[in-house]
């Protein structure tokens, strides 16, 4: 914790951080290997942030939506290395951002995606930045109503994320050096995760739909839809770009299927 507080950067599975370091999109003087200190067990609705996606996808204690979201993410090699904590904090896959265009999210004043190719981008919450959040598990955890415990506080997963604003371009609310330790996932009656992809395997979500039913209430959350995992109230609020209108139709279909599956 001292090393992190001193400006070190947490390194878990490294599947996200190492490529970003190589590309120069992240710089760090000090990497702190947290794999040995992060909890990684799964029991009684608590999941250690160091659990890998591969561990989560096969554990019957894990709710169906989260298991399926992990199973459909990335590739077996990546799921064996990648942790759930790191997955929640992955950066956008927007290629303008990854190619270091001086776009809004990088602190500039325009969104290159809106002006250029954007078929994989957002159709909700896209007023300033049109990136689409890539985490499947985050949508599942949002629908399940999970909370996160860090070394400093507990917060609902919805509060881990924020839309970028003019004075703060970050998409999470974690403080520098703050470490996610555990996730608490409440019991639900049933849950499901459905994912539309360009390929059947090893593809980010064009749209991912997580749904969970608790008592009489159904919660639905989306991945691939907005710059952050999105708790869905109504698809009528969608603001698609010309190239992402097709995603709204996919989302409508997957939401119907998810509700039928519940």
Ligand X SMILES: Cc1cc2nc3c(=O)[nH]c(=O)nc-3n(C[C@H](O)[C@H](O)[C@H](O)COP(=O)(O)OP(=O)(O)OC[C@H]3O[C@@H](n4cnc5c(N)ncnc54)[C@H](O)[C@@H]3O)c2cc1C
Sketch the per residue contact string, 166 through 195, with ligand X: x for CB under 6 A, - otherwise.
-------------xx---------------
Q: Which is nearer to ligand SF4, 73 or 94 (CB)?
A: 94
Which of 8, 15, 146, 218 is close enough to bind ligand X by CB under 6 A?
Answer: 15
- Say which entry of ligand SF4, ligand X, none residue 111 contacts (CB below 5 to 8 A, set by partner kind): ligand SF4
- Binding residues vs ligand SF4 (CB under 6 A): 92, 94, 96-97, 101, 103-105, 111-113, 121, 129-131
Q: Cα separation of 7 and 2, whole Å?
A: 9
- Say which entry of ligand SF4, ligand X, none residue 17 contacts (CB below 5 to 8 A, set by partner kind): ligand X
- Say which entry of ligand SF4, ligand X, none residue 208 contacts (CB below 5 to 8 A, set by partner kind): none
Cβ–Cβ under 8 Å, residues 252 and 239: no
Answer yes or no whether residue 250 interacts with ligand X by CB under 6 A: no
Q: Which residues contact 172 (CB under 8 A, 6 or more apart)?
A: 89, 160, 161, 162
Work out how close the CB of 28 gets to ligand SF4 at its nearest, in angstroms, rounded to a whole number: 21
Task: Give the 3-state DSSP-derived string for the chain, with helices as H, strands as E and coil as C.
Answer: CHHHHCCCEEECCCCCHHHHHHCCCCCCCCEEECCCCCCCCEECCEEECCCEHHHHHHCCCCCHHHHHHHHCCCCHHHHHHCEHHHHHCCCCCCHHHHCCCCCHHHCCCCCHHHHCCCCCCCCCCCCCCCCCCCCHHHHHHHHHCCEEEECCCEEEHHHHECCCECCECCCECCCCCCCEEEEECCCCCEEEEEEECCCCCCCCCCEEEEEEEECCEEEEEEECCCCCCEECCCHHHCCCCHHHHHHHHHHHHHHHHHHHHC
Which of 48, 63, 125, 134 is close enough to bind ligand X by CB under 6 A?
Answer: 134
Answer yes or no whether residue 51 interacts with ligand X by CB under 6 A: no
Work out how close the CB of 79 gets to ligand X at its nearest, in angstroms, rounded to a whole number: 7
- Say which entry of ligand X, ligand SF4, none residue 105 contacts (CB below 5 to 8 A, set by partner kind): ligand SF4
Cβ–Cβ under 8 Å, residues 30 and 21: no
For ligand X, the binding residues in 82-121 under the rule CB under 6 A are: 82-83, 85-87, 89-90
Q: Which is nearer to ligand SF4, 20 or 262 (CB)?
A: 20
Q: Which is nearer to ligand SF4, 120 or 182 (CB)?
A: 120
For ligand X, the binding residues in 60-89 under the rule CB under 6 A are: 73-74, 78, 81-83, 85-87, 89
Which of 8, 13, 164, 227 is close enough to bind ligand X by CB under 6 A?
Answer: 13
- C-alpha distance across the termini of the chain, in Å: 42
Work out how close the CB of 203 gets to ligand X at its nearest, in angstroms, rounded to a whole number: 6
Answer yes or no whether residue 140 interacts with ligand X by CB under 6 A: no
């Amino acid at each position: 914790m001292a090393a992190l507080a001193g400006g070190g950067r947490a390194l878990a599975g490294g599947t996200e951080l190492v490529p970003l370091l190589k590309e120069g999109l992240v710089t760090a003087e000090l990497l702190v290997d947290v794999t040995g200190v992060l909890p990684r067990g799964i029991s009684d609705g608590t999941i250690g942030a160091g659990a890998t996606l591969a561990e989560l996808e096969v554990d019957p204690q894990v709710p169906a939506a989260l298991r399926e979201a992990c199973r459909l993410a990335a590739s077996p090699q990546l799921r064996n290395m990648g942790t759930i904590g790191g997955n929640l904090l992955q950066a956008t896959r927007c290629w303008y951002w990854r190619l270091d265009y001086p776009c809004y999210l990088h602190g500039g004043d325009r969104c290159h995606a809106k002006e250029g190719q954007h078929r994989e981008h957002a159709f909700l919450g896209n007023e300033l930045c049109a990136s689409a959040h890539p985490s499947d598990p985050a949508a599942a955890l949002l629908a399940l109503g999970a909370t996160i415990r860090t070394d400093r506080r507990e917060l609902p997963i919805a509060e881990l994320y924020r839309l970028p604003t003019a004075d703060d371009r970050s998409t999470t609310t974690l403080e520098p050096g703050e470490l996610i330790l555990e996730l608490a996932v409440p019991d639900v009656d049933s849950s499901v995760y459905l994912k539309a992809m360009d390929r059947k395997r090893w593809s980010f979500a064009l749209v991912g739909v997580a749904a969970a039913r608790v008592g009489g209430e159904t919660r639905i959350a989306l991945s691939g839809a907005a710059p952050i995992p999105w708790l869905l109230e109504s698809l009528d609020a969608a603001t698609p770009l010309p190239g992402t209108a097709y995603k709204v139709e996919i989302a409508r279909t997957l939401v119907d299927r998810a509700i039928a599956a519940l």
